[in-house]
Structure 1
Amino acid sequence: MKTLLLAAAAMLIAAPVAAHEIWVEHDGKGPARIYLGEPHEAVPANGDPEFPKLQKPQLVGATAILTRRANHIEAAIPGAGDVRVRDDAVFEPWQSGDAKQGAIFYARAGRSETSHKLDLELVPVAANADKFTLFFRGQPLADAKVTIITPDRWQKAFATDAQGRIDAPQLGKGRYLLSASHTETAPAKLGGQDVASVMHISTLTFVR
């Protein structure tokens, strides 16, 4: 019974990690907006219940003043261009079986750049293309699940091909969100704690 209770507790702790993602919205006409929540649902006016855990997202390749709003964090990044974010401190490491597991979140807004700067990142094969390659530490990830959410919140899971590529369907105008995850079984330190594996969770948003 004790083992079952511990397993159930571990699942409850891990559930927000599995359900939540960080994503960035940036239209090149004002600050970038960084969200934590469930992107297939409308963002509550006061933020997702887990939003308070998003404290200090790190901009990658840029610096900007961060301002906390009711349901997102604004980054004063002027003009167009892709925006990248990394955060490894949203959720505390949790017990997974006999060892601990942690999570690192990544987010990118825009598809104008064909380079990758995040450990797990969806990258367009050409500027503003609808075909993307999923990279993990610079190497394409084959047969990985990628979930696509369209502007009307229709969502479907696809799998990358042998070259780690995926085609995003064209289903109307508006903001698209692509998400992917990859579990790395290797020792690491997150939040000052030793973990045996890390869940890497990454999103990409762009506007058609």
Structure 2
Amino acid sequence: MKKLLIAALALGTASLAQAHEVWIERGANGAAQIWLGEPELPIPAGGDPAFPSLKAPKLVGATAAQTRGAGYIEVALPPGDVRAWDDDVFKPWDEDGKKAGVIYYARSGRSEAKAVMPLELAPVAANGDRFVLTRDGRPVADSEVSLVSPGRWQLALKTDASGQVALPALHEKGRYILKASVKEEGDFTLPAGKVAILHRTTTTSFVN
């Protein structure tokens, strides 16, 4: 019975980690809001049940106080692109007989045509509709990318040989989210311990 419970808990962690994303969007007051959840699904009142696992995401190139809201962490930042990452959201789980973990990367805005984080979806041209997925600055070809609309429909895309993906015509007004993931195997150290499988997940949100 104890082994079954441990297995169920491990499966639950794996499912949460692989189904969830961290993303950033601007609130009505202009502050950056860092969310954890499934952006293609309606957000429950008070936020996603896993939100308490998002404790202290690290801002890239900025320092500001973090305030917890109803399902998001709010940070007062000036206008412009915002980036954050977190390698300590979910504890490692068992996957294919190995320990696995996840690192989340998130970006809001498309005014800067450059990638800064280890895994990032950046516009090829400022405010453009073509994005490039890069891993440590190198394009990631033939990789799945998903686009989530303001109405929460989801469109499956794929990067080309140059790591780029072109968005379709966007007729719906509001916040869109691009998301992608890569899986790596090796020897990695996360705050919660060593893992042999590392999932990296990245999102870029922008307003149309």
| Class of the TM-score when normalised by the shorter of the 2 chains | over 0.9
Q: What is the DSSP-based 3-state SS (H/G/I as helix, E as strand, rest coil) of the residue aligned with 1:166? A: strand
Corresponding position of 2:109: 110
Is the 8 Å Cα contact of residues 7 and 97 (structure 1) preserved in structure 2?
A: no
What residue number does 1:70 align with? Answer: 70
CA shift for structure 1 position 12: 2.9
1:63 deviates by 1.0
Matches within 5 A, 1:31-70: 31-70=31-70
Contact 1:26 1:110 (8 Å CA) reproduced: no
Letter of the aligned partner of 2:73 in structure 1? Answer: I
> Is contact 1:109–1:205 with CA below 8 Å preserved after alignment?
yes
How many Å separate the matches in 2 of 1:3 and 1:29? 48
Which runs of no fewer than 5 residues in structure 1 stay unpaired? none
**In the alignment, residue 43 of structure 2 is paired with which amino acid?**
V
Deviation at 1:203, TM superposition (A): 0.5
How far residue 20 of structure 1 moved from its aligned partner, in angstroms, is 0.6
Number of the residue aligned with 1:19: 19
The alignment yields a C-alpha RMSD, in angstroms, of 2.0
Alignment-derived partner of residue 140 in structure 2: 141
Distance in 1 (CA, whole Å) between partners of 2:106 and 2:46 is: 21
Farther-moved stretch of structure 1 (130-139 vs 90-99):
90-99
Distance in 2, Cα, partners of 1:7 & 1:71: 28
Q: Which letter maps to 2:109?
A: G
| Structure 2 SS opposite 1:40 | coil
Which has the larger displacement, 145-154 or 101-110? 145-154
Cα drift, residue 28 of structure 1: 9.3
State the Cα deviation string for residues 96-122 of structure 1 (Å, max 9, x = none): 122201100010000000111111100
Alpha-carbon contact 1:184-1:197 (below 8 Å) kept: yes
Where 1:15 maps in the other structure, the secondary structure is: helix
Q: TM-score, normalised by structure 2?
A: 0.92
Note the residue ranges of structure 2 that are not aligned, 5 or more in a row.
Answer: none
User: Offset at 1:191?
Assistant: 2.1
Residue 90 of structure 1 is matched in structure 2 by: 89
Kept in 2: contact 1:133–1:164 (CA 8 A): yes
CA distance in 2, matches of 1:4, 1:45: 32
Contact 2:94–2:100 (Cα < 8 Å) also in 1? yes
Choose 156-165 or 10-19, whichever is displaced more: 10-19
Question: What residue identity is the alignment partner of 1:143?
Answer: D
Aligned-partner SS, 1:14: helix
Would you say the 8 A contact 2:27–2:33 is kept in 1?
no
Q: Distance in 2 between matches of 1:72 and 1:6?
A: 29
- Aligned residue pairs total 206
C-alpha separation between the residues in 1 aligned to 2:157 and 2:149?
13
Residue 131, structure 1, aligned to residue 130, structure 2: yes
Measure, in 2, the Cα distance between the counterparts of 1:28 and 1:111.
19
Aligned counterparts of 1:67 and 1:4: Cα–Cα separation in 2 = 38
Partner of 1:186: 186
Q: CA deviation at 1:56?
A: 0.3
Would you say the 8 A contact 1:93–1:191 is kept in 2?
Answer: no
Measured after TM superposition, the shift of residue 29 of structure 1 is: 5.5
Give 1:7 shift.
6.5
